């Protein structure tokens, strides 16, 4: 059914059609009470006849409406009209990410910007126990002022408070979009999500949680960065098999010149095992924010320019440092530095690094510090009454909420001498006479070698380490 201009749906007057798809028809309308433009989506006809389905829909719509996040489409109202359910949202002007991707891969800085906004929206929903389960370019909208909005959010699954999983919802994808779904479609039944973007656990029909959304975000980031889908075969079954058993084509294949930091984040999001992925959308957001800014070559230049803000001067200085370990490993680092051309870059001592980190952490309790080779992150140890903890900090957003992450808590051991691996994906440190390592943004800690009394230095290719025993 197509509605003519002037049709009244409750207090909303239809002014024109916006689009239609498998999940309903979308119209531009005017809210007569507030005199504002809105979008009204009429949902499939059978929904209002199913009382339980209607109840769940309204309950979940209210949950999403309560988020009030700038990167999630705002829901204003739900109701029924002539036995047909409808949803009222803010009216967006712009284009879907799928439309934007028709021109091919995006610049790394734009990938980081859009990705950070997406991750921020996901993080806000996950904090409320809402999991999307169908994140894809068709469900992402970029407004004319480059604001990113997640569509069809949360109605697929509203988790009970304090739960990482939830019962399967009866309805999916009822938030309006002005763009009809294109090639990829949502699968009904036990396997919920979109082929090519769903996480491996979704492909197996298992319960999805926040980490499933992170995998889908990784697939979207991959497509933005390369212009290709991470998993795309001739049939849906073959694509699902690839998600379960194959790795996507290397991000740097074909001579692509992508920043190492961005490559690292995408790869971590696309880990098959949920436990090996980045564990929170908030972590992904702050990591991507650290890649924003101007730059050239294989680096986005995610540090503040000298003199640009309160942290500009020290940030520009930190960027020139190579990884610096504690004083106890100075000899090992010097050996490797002399073997390669990095010698001139180890100009600052560990004490100088700690002094700089006092300006970042504002605590004065920093003991050792090191910077990642791409200049995007600092790892440092901090002495507290409960023990020594290990942190990583996104330099570009130092001082902002979420820029500092505790990756090893107090009580683990006397964490000393942090050092980044050459590719920046892990941080090595000394604890209780063991050389151990932990992912950049936190995760399981691995014991590497025991009976050590100092930190490590890395060969240029990262395949060998030097340490003091």
pTM: 0.57
Q: For residue 22, what pLDDT is reported?
A: 58
Computed over every residue of the chain, the mean pLDDT equals 75
Give CA–CA dist 315/441, Å, rounded: 20
Catalytic residues: 134
- Within this chain, do residues 262 and 280 fall inside the same structural domain, yes or no? yes
Rounded to an integer, the average pLDDT of 48-63 is 71
Cβ proximity of 141 and 177 under 8 Å: yes
- Within this chain, do residues 232 and 112 fall inside the same structural domain, yes or no? yes
- Within this chain, do residues 321 and 343 fall inside the same structural domain, yes or no? yes
Does 320 have pLDDT greater than 70? no
Q: For residue 332, what pLDDT is reported?
A: 44
**pLDDT confidence tier of residue 248, bands split at 50, 70 and 90:** very high
Does 458 have pLDDT greater than 60? yes
18 in a domain, yes or no?
Answer: yes
Does 226 have pLDDT greater than 60? yes
341 in a domain, yes or no?
Answer: yes
Cβ proximity of 286 and 112 under 8 Å: no
171 in a domain, yes or no?
Answer: yes
- Within this chain, do residues 318 and 414 fall inside the same structural domain, yes or no? yes
- Within this chain, do residues 86 and 106 fall inside the same structural domain, yes or no? no
Q: For residue 315, what pLDDT is reported?
A: 38
303 in a domain, yes or no?
Answer: no
Q: For residue 23, what pLDDT is reported?
A: 63
Does 330 have pLDDT greater than 60? no
- Within this chain, do residues 140 and 235 fall inside the same structural domain, yes or no? yes
Rounded to an integer, the average pLDDT of 392-405 is 70
Helix pair 108-127, 210-226: axis angle to 10 deg? 170
Q: Who wins on pLDDT, 238 or 13?
A: 13
- Within this chain, do residues 275 and 382 fall inside the same structural domain, yes or no? no
20 in a domain, yes or no?
Answer: yes
Q: Using the Cα atoms of residue 109, residue 113, residue 119 and residue 123 in order, give the sign of their dihedral.
A: positive
Residues 6+ apart with CB under 8 A from 253: none
Does 111 have pLDDT greater than 90? yes
Q: Which residues form the domain of 419?
A: 312-467
Cβ proximity of 361 and 378 under 8 Å: no
307 in a domain, yes or no?
Answer: no
pLDDT tens digits, one per residue of 411-420? 887 778 899 9
Q: For residue 365, what pLDDT is reported?
A: 76
pLDDT tens digits, one per residue of 342-384? 333 333 434 445 555 555 655 667 778 888 887 778 888 888 7
Cβ proximity of 118 and 217 under 8 Å: yes
- Give the residues across from 37 on adjacent strands: 30
Cβ proximity of 145 and 223 under 8 Å: no
Does 397 have pLDDT greater than 70? no
Integer CA distances (angstroms), 71 to 74, 116, 142, 288, in order: 9, 10, 10, 15
- Within this chain, do residues 80 and 108 fall inside the same structural domain, yes or no? no
Q: Who wins on pLDDT, 92 or 128?
A: 92
Q: For residue 433, what pLDDT is reported?
A: 81
Q: For residue 270, what pLDDT is reported?
A: 95
pLDDT tens digits, one per residue of 198-223? 999 988 888 889 999 999 999 999 99
**pLDDT confidence tier of residue 1, bands split at 50, 70 and 90:** low
- Within this chain, do residues 241 and 101 fall inside the same structural domain, yes or no? yes
pLDDT tens digits, one per residue of 5-29? 999 999 999 999 988 765 678 999 9
Domains held by the chain: number: 3
Tell me what percent of the residues of the chain surpass a pLDDT of 70: 71
Q: Which of 55, 90, 125 is the last residue of a domain?
A: 90
- Within this chain, do residues 162 and 216 fall inside the same structural domain, yes or no? yes
- Give the residues across from 88 on adjacent strands: 40, 77
SS (H, E, C) the chain: CCCCCCCEECCEEEEEEEEEECCEEEEEEEECCCCEEEEEEECCCCCCCCHHHHHHHHHHHHHHHCCCCCCECCEEEEEEECCEEEEEEECCCEEEHHHHHHHCCCCHHHHHHHHHHHHHHHHHHHHCCECCCCCCHHHEEEECCCCEEECCCCCCCECCCCCCCCCCCCCCCCCCCCCCCCCCCECCCCCCCECCCCCHHHHCCCCCCHHHHHHHHHHHHHHHHHCCCCCCCCCHHHHHHHHHHCCCCCCCHHHCCCCHHHHHHHHHHCCCCHHHCCCCHHHHHHHHHCCCCCCCCCCCCCCCCCCCCCCHHHHHHHHCCCCCCCHHHHHHHHHHHHHCHHHHHCCCCHHHHHHHHHHHHCCCCEEEEEECCCCCEEEEEEEECCEEEEEEEEHHHCCCCCCEEEEECCCCCCCEEEEECCCCCEEEEEECCEEEEEECCCCCCEEEECCCCCCEEECCCCCCEEECC
Q: Nearest 5 degrees, angle CA 158-CA 278-CA 128? A: 25
Rounded to an integer, the average pLDDT of 173-189 is 31
Q: For residue 294, what pLDDT is reported?
A: 32
Does 161 have pLDDT greater than 60? no
Does 195 have pLDDT greater than 50? yes
302 in a domain, yes or no?
Answer: no
Kindly report the CATH number assigned to the domain that includes residue 284: 1.10.510.10
Q: For residue 338, what pLDDT is reported?
A: 41
Q: Who wins on pLDDT, 209 or 324?
A: 209
- Within this chain, do residues 49 and 106 fall inside the same structural domain, yes or no? no
Does 462 have pLDDT greater than 80? no
- Within this chain, do residues 320 and 376 fall inside the same structural domain, yes or no? yes
Does 48 have pLDDT greater than 70? no
185 in a domain, yes or no?
Answer: no
């Amino acid at each position: 059914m197509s509605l003519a201009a002037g049709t009244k749906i409750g207090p909303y007057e239809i002014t024109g059609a916006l689009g239609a798809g498998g999940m309903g028809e979308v119209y531009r309308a005017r809210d007569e009470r507030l005199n504002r433009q809105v979008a009204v989506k009429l949902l499939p006809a059978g929904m209002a006849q199913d009382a339980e389905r209607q109840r769940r829909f309204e309950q979940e719509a209210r949950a999403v409406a309560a988020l009030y996040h700038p990167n999630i489409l705002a829901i204003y109202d739900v109701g029924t009209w002539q036995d047909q359910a409808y949803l009222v949202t803010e009216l967006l002007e712009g284009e879907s990410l799928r439309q934007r991707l028709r021109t091919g891969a995006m610049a790394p800085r734009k990938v980081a910007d859009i990705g950070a906004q997406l991750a921020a929206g996901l993080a806000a929903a996950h904090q409320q126990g809402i999991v999307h389960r169908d994140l894809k370019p068709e469900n992402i909208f970029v407004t004319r002022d480059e604001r990113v909005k997640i569509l069809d959010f949360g109605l697929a699954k509203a988790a009970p408070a304090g739960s990482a999983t939830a019962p399967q919802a009866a309805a999916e994808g009822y938030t309006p979009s002005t763009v009809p779904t294109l090639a990829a479609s949502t699968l009904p039944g036990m396997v919920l999500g979109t082929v090519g973007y769903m996480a491996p656990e979704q492909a197996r029909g298992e319960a999805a949680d926040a980490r499933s959304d992170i995998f889908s975000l990784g697939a979207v980031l991959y497509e933005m960065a390369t212009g290709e889908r991470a998993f795309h075969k001739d049939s849906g079954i073959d694509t699902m098999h690839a998600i379960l058993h194959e790795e996507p084509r290397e991000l740097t294949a074909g001579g692509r010149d992508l920043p190492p930091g961005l490559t690292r984040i995408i790869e971590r999001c696309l880990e098959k095992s949920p436990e090996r992925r980045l564990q929170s959308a908030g972590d992904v957001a702050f990591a991507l924010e650290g890649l924003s800014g101007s730059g050239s070559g294989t680096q986005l230049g995610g540090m503040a320019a000298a003199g640009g803000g309160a942290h500009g001067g020290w940030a520009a200085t930190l960027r020139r440092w190579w990884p610096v370990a504690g004083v106890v490993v100075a000899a090992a680092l010097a050996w490797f530095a002399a073997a390669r051309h990095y010698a001139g870059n180890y100009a600052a001592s560990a004490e100088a690094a700690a002094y700089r980190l006092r300006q970042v952490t504002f605590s004065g309790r920093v003991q050792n510090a090191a910077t990642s080779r791409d200049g995007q992150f600092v790892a440092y140890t901090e002495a507290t009454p409960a023990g020594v903890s290990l942190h990583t900090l996104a330099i570009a957003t130092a001082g902002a909420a979420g820029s500092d992450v505790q990756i090893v808590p107090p009580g683990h051991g006397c964490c000393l001498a942090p050092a980044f691996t050459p590719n920046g994906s892990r941080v090595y440190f000394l604890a209780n006479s063991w050389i151990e390592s932990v992912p950049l943004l936190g995760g399981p800690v691995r014991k590497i070698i025991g009976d050590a009394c100092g930190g490590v230095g890395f060969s240029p290719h990262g395949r060998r380490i030097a340490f003091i025993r």
